[in-house]
Amino acid sequence: MKGLTKLVLGLAALLVILIASAGILLGVFFEPNDYKADIEQLALEKAGLELSIDGDIGWSVFPWLGLEISQVKLQYPQQPALASLEQAHVSVKLLPLLSSKVEMSSITVEGLDLNLVQAVDGSNNWSAPGGAPAQSEGSGDAGTDSDGSAKLALDIESIAVSNGRIAYADLKAGTRVQLQELALTSGRIRQAEYFPIELSFKLDRSATDAAPTLSADTSLKAEVQLDPLTQQYRLRGLDSSVQLRLAAFGDKPVDLKLSGDVAADLVAQLARIDNLNLSVASLKASGSLSLQGFAEPLLGGELKLAEFNPRSLLQLLGQPLPAMQDDRALTKLSLSAVLGGSTSQISLKPLTLTLDDTHFNGALAYSLADGAISLDLNGDTFNADRYLAPKSESSKGADKASAGKAASGERYSKEEVIPVAPLQALLLDAQFKLQALQVSGIALSDVDLAVNARNGLINASRINANLFGGTVRNSAVLDVRGTPVKLKSSKNVSGLQVGDLLQAFNSAEKPAMTGTLSSQAEVSAQGRSVHAIVNSLNGTARFNVTDGTISGIDMAQTVCQGFNNLASLGVNAEQVDGSTPFANLGGNFTLRNGVVRNEDLQASLDAVGLKGRGSVDLPRALIDYRLGLTIQENLFKQSCSVNNKIQGVEWPVNCKGSFDTPPAQLCRPDLSLFENLIKQQLKEKVQQKVEEKVEKKLQEKLGDGAKGLLKGLFGN
């Protein structure tokens, strides 16, 4: 037995001596640089690659099977240069290979330059023209099991890559991404054992042949575990930092830090990132991510955004905010959500969001395929006025608008205010609800909005709210698919208190009208400016106001005063200050090219019945309306001493002027009829007195028989 052992050991020693001797002999008698041309020709024939080796080739056999090469260039024929290499060195210990072990010395790569180009026609410089050569049938990777897992056990002393460069240019998109000063170092790499790794590079992204729009100095440290046998790969203690510079932010540097633990199991098709922490300036996020299934991956995880100050962050990024009514607005924001989705869509559901004092919950989804957004948010109380411009600046804006109107002679701006291109690209399905909303000093409750946008058709199916004691139920459609832009709106208002509404818009003055409003309208328009929209308004509308008053116009007193003034032979049409109560006011309207027409206005006013017809010209801001007043009996019992023969007669009141005319001057009675009536009454009184005097004289002379004669004479 001992003799057999000695024999085996002797044979092994002899084999080592033979291999060593062969390596020495090959090193002495074989010169690899003599075969450069053959190697280059072989690369062209077998892989279709143009290989150029301008430097020396060095090699060794024992105890290390090593290769050193320098000044290498590589490209496909008639294509831009693909890669170049200044120098590379790799060596493998020979004897461990006999027992399926790979023991390597340090792998060093210096000056790797990889240049990837995607042409306008979709072709590229890293694929063989016409497709790569087919692999021969039955061929396989040496040293692998049937499931593709590696048999060899790795042991690499270290890897060092220095002065690397990788560039990618997409000529069709006109973009270019470049990694420079690429450096990679590692510790000893052994299978299933953690080893340290460090990576650094500079990244620039830009339009082709233009200054960078994004720059980043990146560094990364971590411990890596590679286990090809079980196909499990881990990265722990990831600590990376990036200094970003964006042209959009004025090239001001922004520090970004990312840490966490990464694990991938190729057999289970599962990848995870745990203990994830991300910070960008004052923004700090934490959570976890998982990816299940590599063919059709499913995304999962959690995301938490700690409370931060958006105002300060935007200022740090060179994006100062405009002045707001509340300096504390937009100073607190936080978010938490459960992540889900796939390669085509990312979702945050459920989602909790806090903005200053407002709390939202709901869901958000974003399509990676086409950029479509799906949003469903419910909030409590939101004060939009806090985020609007200060009132002093708003007033300045109004003054400028008035000055512009005076200069142009146009009441309505011709500036195009509907942005067509962004709306055509918008893909949105959103629902938004608020328990309470304040905007422009108006308090709304139960706000409910639903908007769907696809291919330039924006459908706001619900624009609902409760305000001023009533309900507003609206819908609108905006079509920007063609020219001109088209708008369509459907409105339904019920129980709205008109006085409260008018008071909210002008708190300094008594509201011109009070009452409970109900209305319906179907209106369409076209154009992108306020001027175009007003001039193209078409549709129908109806309204009804009950239990209200019209301030500044006392119809009963105005009519009464008119009669009394005329009766005293003095015409004084000055409007008295008062109000006109009414039980019911309503009518139907048509709109044609901005002109509103009505033929059936009816109202039951205090002591006066009212009917109306006429038009309101919105483009020219003119009113031409005629009201018919029917005097009721109680008016003259309470207010007037004029003969009640005018009871039941319809008296016209003309409302004519511009939108800027004060209400008291806008509507005045038609005094010509008043004057004609008084004249008729005076004529009758004169005739009666003449009859009485004549009758008296005749009676004195003729006696009682004169009565019959007078009746025949005067027709009584």
pLDDT per residue as tens digits for the range 584-642 = 889 999 999 999 999 999 887 766 777 899 999 999 899 999 888 776 655 444 555 44
Question: Coil, helix or strand for 133?
Answer: coil
pLDDT band for position 404 (cuts 50, 70, 90): very low
pLDDT band for position 403 (cuts 50, 70, 90): very low
Contact call for residues 536 and 529 (beta carbons, < 8 A): no
pLDDT at 549: 80
Number of neighbours of residue 646 by Cβ within 10 angstroms: 19
Query: Which of 673, 631, 664, 671 shows the shortest CA–CA distance to 554?
Result: 664
DSSP code, position 55: S
Structure tokens at 504: 């909210």
CA distance 693 to 155: 144
What's the whole-number mean pLDDT along residues 226-230?
86
Q: Could you give the residue ranges of the DSSP H alpha helices within 203-351?
A: 310-316
Q: In this predicted model, what pLDDT tens digit does every residue of 194-218 receive, in sequence order?
A: 999 999 999 998 887 777 888 999 9
Has residue 539 got a pLDDT over 60? Answer: yes
pLDDT at 698: 61
pLDDT at 19: 47
Question: Coil, helix or strand for 524?
Answer: strand
Contact call for residues 586 and 544 (beta carbons, < 8 A): yes
Please report the beta strands in 468-575, taking only residues with DSSP state E, as ranges in sequence order. 470-479, 486-497, 513-526, 538-551
194: which strand partners? 225
Contact call for residues 655 and 647 (beta carbons, < 8 A): no
Distances (CA, A) of 203 to 182, 253, 595: 9, 14, 61
Q: In this predicted model, what pLDDT tens digit does every residue of 304-345 receive, in sequence order?
A: 999 999 998 888 777 778 899 998 999 999 999 999 988 788
Question: Coil, helix or strand for 546?
Answer: strand
Choice between 236 and 53, residue whose per-residue pLDDT is larger:
236
pLDDT at 149: 43
Query: Which of 298, 324, 299 shows the shortest CA–CA distance to 311?
Result: 324
pLDDT band for position 651 (cuts 50, 70, 90): confident
Question: pLDDT averaged over the chain?
Answer: 80
Residue 649 host element (H or E): none
pLDDT band for position 393 (cuts 50, 70, 90): low
pTM over 0.85: no
Query: Which of 117, 108, 74, 72 shows the shortest CA–CA distance to 90?
Result: 108
Could you tell me which residues come within 8 angstroms of residue 153 by beta carbon, excluding any fewer than 6 positions away?
100, 101, 102, 191
Structure tokens at 327: 């300096």
pLDDT at 141: 45
pLDDT-wise least confident of 57-61, 118-122, 706-710: 706-710
pLDDT at 661: 82
What are the phi and psi torsion angles at 263 (to 5°)?
-140, 140
Query: Exposure pattern of 481-511 as b/e (b: 16+ CB <10 Å)?
Result: eeeebbbbbbbebeebbbbbbbbeeeeeeeb
98: which strand partners? none
What's the whole-number mean pLDDT along residues 469-475?
95
Distances (CA, A) of 50 to 21, 35, 512: 36, 16, 88
Contact call for residues 219 and 200 (beta carbons, < 8 A): yes
Find the farthest-apart pair of alpha carbons in the chain and give their distance in angstroms, rounded. 188
Residue 686 host element (H or E): helix 671-702
491: which strand partners? 474, 521
Could you tell me which residues come within 8 angstroms of residue 495 by beta carbon, excluding any fewer than 6 positions away?
469, 470, 471, 516, 517, 518
Query: Which of 683, 690, 671, 692 shows the shortest CA–CA distance to 629?
Result: 671
Residue carrying the six token digits 């005067």: 714
Domain regions of the chain by residue span: 682-714
CA distance 653 to 676: 15
What's the whole-number mean pLDDT along residues 346-362?
95
pLDDT band for position 265 (cuts 50, 70, 90): very high
What's the whole-number mean pLDDT along residues 71-76?
89
CA distance 609 to 557: 14
Question: Coil, helix or strand for 712?
Answer: helix
Query: Exposure pattern of 178-200 as b/e (b: 16+ CB <10 Å)?
Result: bbeebebebbebebeebbebebb
- CA 488 to chain centroid, in Å, comes to 22
Single-letter amino acid, residue 250: G
Distances (CA, A) of 580 to 57, 111, 556, 609, 655: 107, 92, 8, 11, 16
Q: Which of 310-319, 363-372, 541-550 has the highest average model confidence (pLDDT)?
A: 363-372
What's the whole-number mean pLDDT along residues 375-385?
96
The verdict on whether omega for the bond into residue 484 sits within 30 degrees of 0, i.e. cis, is yes
Number of neighbours of residue 235 by Cβ within 10 angstroms: 19
3-state secondary structure 9-54: HHHHHHHHHHHHHHHHHHHHHCCHHHHHHHHHHHHHHHHCCEEEEC
Query: Exposure pattern of 270-289 as b/e (b: 16+ CB <10 Å)?
Result: bbbbeebebbbbebebbbbb
Query: Which of 651, 541, 652, 650 shows the shortest CA–CA distance to 586?
Result: 541
pLDDT at 150: 44
CA distance 284 to 573: 73
